[in-house]
Amino acid sequence: MSEVFKVGLAGLGTVGTGVLRLLDEHQALLEARSGRRIEVRAVSARDRSRERGLDLSRYEWCDDPAALAQRDGLDAVIETIGGTDGPALDLARACLGRGRPLVTANKAMIAEHGFALAETAEASGTALLFEAAVCAGTPILQTLREGMVGNRIDRIEGILNGTSNYILSAMERQGEDFAEVLCEAQRLGYAEADPALDVGGGDAAHKLAILAALAFGVRPRFAEVEIEGIRDVRAADIMQADRLGYCVRLVAMADLETAPGGGSPRLLQRVRPCLLPAGHPLAAIDGPTNAVLVHGDYAGPILIQGAGAGSESTASAIVSDLVALARGEARPSFSIRAADLRPAECADSGAREARYYLRFVVADRPGVLAELAAAMRDARVSIQSLIQEGESAPDGGGPVESGTMIALVTHKAPARNVRDALVRLSGADSIVEPPLAMPILMD
Ligand SMILES: NC(=O)c1ccc[n+]([C@@H]2O[C@H](COP(=O)([O-])OP(=O)(O)OC[C@H]3O[C@@H](n4cnc5c(N)ncnc54)[C@H](OP(=O)(O)O)[C@@H]3O)[C@@H](O)[C@H]2O)c1
């Protein structure tokens, strides 16, 4: 194979321009590795006149990205527009429907429409690849699809959002609360102007649903991911966790329970802040880094970590997919054919047992502790230790303006009992703000 591998690129933002730079800079290296010269022939974005720090005159310009699906002579199209629906989805459907391979970095689109798109690709004998959609250039999808293909995997855990991890790590280091650290993260470019998808857990949930499909061979429903973000975590919680030997991380976790008697397996998908013991492999993941811990039955636990965003890292993943296409090595999008992915029921998360860190801000008056203890007793949650009781948060932990902070650790209890205890307390006059509950993960 020596003919040029011709590519169309839709989207010339952070990721798209990174792809153009990488292809230019590593042209000879890529030609040697893929056996073909990879060339971008046509590009599309919204604003043709925008300065992008690149010479675009050598590429054909398409105002409409969907034109890249129709243009003659392209071997593949790269989509870096973004968005669950809209022009990205139109382009993906048009390319795959006519048998043109598509490479995308779009986790939202793959989490919501990935199975339908993969079925379209399979029906027309083409490839849909999206390594960049999960952890950017940290090659977790290839690891699952190829390196760990011989393993049964029944659990996967990860730190899948660099912005949240940056914020939690900075809160830990600086003893500052969420809002202050978020402003700093926005100033430094680690958080978007609208951080909702990152700090609310939605971005990690998109990636988790994709990972669950590849790891377990099932069709996760994105709507069934239980999502809780990091906005309610205080510096005081992080400090208390530290005193107990834990750190706080936004952990995305999925596991598959096999049903007795051969019924549909049950899938749990959850993104939430958790306490991790110091020895847990994810506890050491600091700053904007992403990491995924995969438990293979033969390979054992495998930890893969690296940059989870950024122009260069994301371009690296897109180009790895392009090289696979140029070599004729593309594998099924979800490791097995989309049509063969098994349906999975939603597992009963309420039955899962863990110890919990619970934090309350309560009115400073007699009898409040007894009220908390009674709610715990009635919900059958036993308290292992009361770890803080005072008129304010611990030193440097940020102020608790309107009440007293009480934090406690429970003995192991089913999640539904803990929820029940919080529901029992929800209308109480003594509770000044909604409580925070974080499970303690074991290493
Ligand atoms: N940034 C990262 O670190 C990262 C990491 C992993 C995955 N991703 C994913 O990569 C994708 C792109 O992210 P990004 O950060 O590169 O976004 P971005 O900087 O906002 O770039 C988006 C590009 O799409 C173009 N575009 C938007 N609407 C369009 C339309 N209707 N028609 C044609 N072009 C249109 C924009 O054109 P103009 O420039 O003319 O406005 C822009 O060039 C997203 O799916 C994202 O989730 C990003």
DSSP 367-435: THHHHHHHHHHHTT--EEEEEEEESSPSTTS---TTSEEEEEEEPSEEHHHHHHHHHHHHT-TTEEEEE
Residue pair 24/92 in contact (Cβ under 8 Å)? The answer is no
Residue pair 442/277 in contact (Cβ under 8 Å)? The answer is yes
Q: How far is the CA of 10 from the centre of ligand 1 (A)?
A: 9
Residue pair 42/68 in contact (Cβ under 8 Å)? The answer is yes
Given a cut of 60, whether residue 397 has pLDDT beyond it is no
Residue pair 349/415 in contact (Cβ under 8 Å)? The answer is yes
Q: Is 132 in the pocket of ligand 1 (CB under 6 A)?
A: yes
- Band of residue 355 on the pLDDT scale cut at 50, 70, 90: very high
Alpha helices by DSSP H, 26-66 = 27-34
Distances (CA, A) of 399 to 181, 236, 239: 15, 8, 13
Question: Tell me, what amino acid is at 285?
Answer: I
Given a cut of 50, whether residue 399 has pLDDT beyond it is no
Q: Write the residue with the smallest CA distance to atom 21 of ligand 1.
A: 13
Q: Is 314 in the pocket of ligand 1 (CB under 6 A)?
A: yes
Q: Is 440 in the pocket of ligand 1 (CB under 6 A)?
A: no
In order, the DSSP letters of 184-202 are HHHHHTSS-SS-HHHHTSH
Q: Indicate the helix (H) or strand (E) that contains 325.
A: helix 311-327
Given a cut of 60, whether residue 392 has pLDDT beyond it is no
- Band of residue 398 on the pLDDT scale cut at 50, 70, 90: very low
Residue pair 42/9 in contact (Cβ under 8 Å)? The answer is yes
Q: How far is the CA of 348 from the centre of ligand 1 (A)?
A: 37
Q: Is 50 in the pocket of ligand 1 (CB under 6 A)?
A: yes
Q: What is the pLDDT of residue 366?
A: 87
Q: Which of the listed CATH numbers 3.30.70.260, 3.40.50.12780, 2.30.30.90, 3.20.20.150 matches domain 350-440? A: 3.30.70.260
Q: Is 87 in the pocket of ligand 1 (CB under 6 A)?
A: yes
Over the stretch 113-172, which tens digit does the pLDDT of each residue have?
999 999 999 999 999 999 999 999 999 999 999 999 999 998 999 999 999 999 999 999
Q: What is the pLDDT of residue 401?
A: 56
Tokens read off for 437: 């509950």
Over the stretch 30-39, which tens digit does the pLDDT of each residue have?
999 999 999 9
Given a cut of 50, whether residue 277 has pLDDT beyond it is yes
Q: Is 80 in the pocket of ligand 1 (CB under 6 A)?
A: yes
Residue pair 252/215 in contact (Cβ under 8 Å)? The answer is no
Q: What is the pLDDT of residue 400?
A: 52
| 314, 316, 319, 320: residue to mutate for ligand 1 pocket, most atoms within 8 A of CB | 314
Q: Write the residue with the smallest CA distance to atom 19 of ligand 1.
A: 13
- Band of residue 389 on the pLDDT scale cut at 50, 70, 90: low
- Band of residue 394 on the pLDDT scale cut at 50, 70, 90: very low
Strands 266-277 and 345-346: parallel
Q: How far is the CA of 121 from the centre of ligand 1 (A)?
A: 23
Q: How far is the CA of 15 from the centre of ligand 1 (A)?
A: 7
Tokens 């107990």, residue located: 244
pTM of the full structure: 0.95
Give ranges for CATH 3.40.50.720 in the chain: 5-134+330-338
Q: How far is the CA of 88 from the centre of ligand 1 (A)?
A: 10
Q: What is the pLDDT of residue 330?
A: 86
Given a cut of 60, whether residue 254 has pLDDT beyond it is yes
Give the residue numbers annotated as catalytic, written as ranges.
Answer: 207
Give ranges for CATH 3.30.360.10 in the chain: 140-307
Q: Which of 128, 345, 343 lies closest to 217 in space, CA to CA?
A: 343
**Domain 140-307 CATH class label:** alpha beta
Topology of domain 5-134+330-338, CATH: Rossmann fold (3.40.50)
Residue pair 251/273 in contact (Cβ under 8 Å)? The answer is yes
Q: What is the spatial distance between Cα 336 and Cα 288, in angstroms, rounded to a whole number?
A: 31
Q: Write the residue with the smallest CA distance to atom 41 of ligand 1.
A: 46
Q: Indicate the helix (H) or strand (E) that contains 104.
A: strand 102-104
Number of Cβ atoms within 10 Å of the Cβ of 416:
15
Helix (H, G, I), strand (E, B) or coil at 254: strand
